[in-house]
Amino acid sequence: MARTTEERLEWLETTLALQDRTIEQLNEALIAQQRTMDRLENGVQALADKLRAFDTPMEEGEAEEPLPPHYQMSGPK
């Protein structure tokens, strides 16, 4: 059964409206994901900075702490 021009136009308008709605929903989802990624990247960077703070070399004048007695090698005497 052939559709009339008016039916075809109505179908096209409906399809376009649904596509516009879908594009808007996808855009909102993309924006939310980007915000989440930005927040996670900032968190990873903060953790990396904290880790680097623990990994700083000692100053030249500082001596290493001596090993606890249970870590010291006791060889045969």
Q: Give the span between the Cα atoms of 19 and 26, in whole angstroms.
A: 10
What SS3 state is found at 74? coil
The answer to whether residue 77 scores a pLDDT higher than 70 is: no
Would you state the pLDDT for residue 73? 73
- Does the CA dihedral 64-69-73-77 come out positive or negative? positive
Alpha helices in 1-77 (DSSP H): 5-54
Q: What is the mean pLDDT of residues 51-64?
A: 72
Give the chain's mean pLDDT: 88
